[in-house]
Amino acid sequence: MIILPAMDLMGNACVRLYQGDFGAQTRYPLAPADALAGFEKAGANWAHVVDLDGARAGAPLQHDFIAALARGSALSLQVAGGVRKRAHVRSLLAAGVSRVVVGSLALREPETIRDWLGEFGPDRLTLAFDVRIEKDKPFVAVHGWRELSALRLDEAIAPFAGTGLRNVLITDISRDGALNGPNFDLIRDVSARYPDLDIQASGGVASLDDIKALRSAGAAAAIVGKALYENRLSLEEAIHAGA
């Protein structure tokens, strides 16, 4: 299982939100380039970078800055936030980003994303589905997690059957930034239902036991954020636990 240390950016600075709430943010003094260098030193091969300003605005606001980070780092970067157009994907990939994350657009315009998967290839795109559990079913949230759609997770994934889709990032919103453990049942269910997908688990990782349990649940990758910044978890040990 691959460990992707997360770096969320606002105003070119590293921050963490609590359950997507921009009013509940923690800002960290570590410079983004230094954070990536630290990830690399710990043995990471990937990092998950989010343009939070872009995510809130619905348009890329820090993509030039992120592109500069990609050019200056040996890490493979998976980048999310503000991706709405083909040109956004193309420019990030051209700048050296390894994989681009697409979120709510996959719900609104699945045919567009099917085209992108054909054009850019399944290795270059990750579809992100942020869910809330309602009546024991995962429903996909939209608009920065502020609204719950009528689509269950399986209904959101269904339009991409036969496209070669490989990378899917699943976040249980209730676990994000809470450090109370991931939703193992959700990851186990999705991994078993879609064995051809590489499921990335996000939200709640706080310990090495969480990493090991996600690996056992079938996750191909785990996003780890707040636990690293608050020194609850060693990235080097997390990578070893996921191997």
Distance CA 221, CA 48 (A): 11
Distance CA 49, CA 38 (A): 14
Return the axis-axis angle of helices 32-41 and 63-71, rounded to nearest 10°.
40
8 counts as catalytic: yes
Give the residue among 11, 20, 46, 32 at the shortest CA–CA distance from 229: 32
Whether the CB-CB separation of 160 and 127 falls below 8 Å is answered with yes
115 counts as catalytic: no
Q: Could you tell me where the beta strands, DSSP code E, fall in the chain?
A: 2-10, 13-18, 21-27, 46-51, 76-80, 99-102, 125-134, 137-142, 147-152, 167-172, 198-202, 221-224
Q: Which of 8, 53, 198, 210 is catalytic?
A: 8
Q: Which of 51, 53, 130, 176 is catalytic?
A: 130
* Residues classed as catalytic: 8, 130
